[in-house]
Amino acid sequence: MIIRDPVARSGQQEPSGHRELDDEEPEDTQLYEKLGELTRFIDKTIKTISQFSAPMSATTEQLPDATAYLKDLRKLTEDGTHRIMQLVEGIEENRKRADMQLDALVNGLAGSDAATVASKIMTIRATLAADNKPLMDIITALSFQDLVAQSVNKLVTIIEEVEHKLLELVVVFGPYTKGAGKAEASKASDMLKQLSATKNTSMKQDLADEILKQYGFN
């Protein structure tokens, strides 16, 4: 940008203090207006940065811990899920043994007057068999762990990114000071919005089936 000097062009001495702008030089007026605008913007930005520098420092202090907690959460849910599945699998095996024992008992009683007892035992077997589906459902329901882990991974990624950006800001904008305020809430809100956006773009099996159908998968 070329800045012309109105004093040099008019050949007159610049009066001290306030300088009047020439109406015949609209470009200079525009320039002064722009400079004023820029000065106000810089002033406002400095004030904003000074307001946020303390909370940003506090946020940066907390984020490494938050990341560690979330990583722990992933491990804990994984271990917990394995434990529950181990128990369920044990129940399944136990029920198989019970089934074999019942078979032996029914075979022993079939030729005797105890046929009624045998019938009752068969009823018990049917009752036990009814547990098969709920047991399988328990195992399948545990797939929540995979989804939780994926959400946690997303959170960890977001937090690491925010941490990096905040550290950059702290380095660029000044000394490390204590304090907390709006910055944490704002960042947390952003993270939730991002997660929510991901959630909203997911689809259910019904919709997947509909699309599969369109591509000839009946």
Q: Is residue 97 a contact point for other proteins (CB under 8 A)?
A: no
DSSP state of 131: T
Closer of 12 and 202 to other proteins (Cβ):
202
Binding residue for other proteins, selected from 17, 126, 140, 197, defined by CB under 8 A: 140
CA atoms within 13 A on the CB side of 66: 19
> Quick one: which segment of 3-11, 97-105, 166-174, 207-215 binds other proteins (CB under 8 A)?
207-215
What stretch of H or E contains 156? Answer: helix 144-173
Binding residue for other proteins, selected from 49, 70, 139, 195, defined by CB under 8 A: 139
Q: Which residues of 28-61 are buried (b: 16+ CB within 10 A; e: fewer)?
A: beeeeeeeeeeeeeeeeeeeeeeebbbbbbbbbe
Residue type for position 32: Y
CA distances from 98 to 27, 80, 88, 121, 122 (A): 96, 27, 15, 11, 12
Q: Is residue 217 a contact point for other proteins (CB under 8 A)?
A: yes
> Quick one: which segment of 34-42, 60-68, 80-88, 121-129 binds other proteins (CB under 8 A)?
80-88
Closer of 57 and 145 to other proteins (Cβ):
145
Query: Distance between CA 71 and CA 116 in Å, rounded?
Result: 58
Least Cα distance to 66 among 184, 178, 195 occurs for 184
Binding residue for other proteins, selected from 112, 116, 127, 205, defined by CB under 8 A: 205
Q: Is residue 150 a contact point for other proteins (CB under 8 A)?
A: yes
Report H helices in 174-214.
Answer: 182-200, 205-214
Q: Is residue 42 a contact point for other proteins (CB under 8 A)?
A: no
Binding residue for other proteins, selected from 70, 73, 85, 170, defined by CB under 8 A: 85
Q: Is residue 91 a contact point for other proteins (CB under 8 A)?
A: no
In this structure, what token pair is assigned to residue 180? Answer: 């907390």
Q: Is residue 76 a contact point for other proteins (CB under 8 A)?
A: no
Binding residue for other proteins, selected from 44, 75, 82, 120, defined by CB under 8 A: 82
Q: What is the contact surface with other proteins in residues (CB under 8 A)?
A: 78, 81-82, 85, 89, 136-137, 139-147, 149-150, 201-205, 207-208, 211-212, 215, 217-218
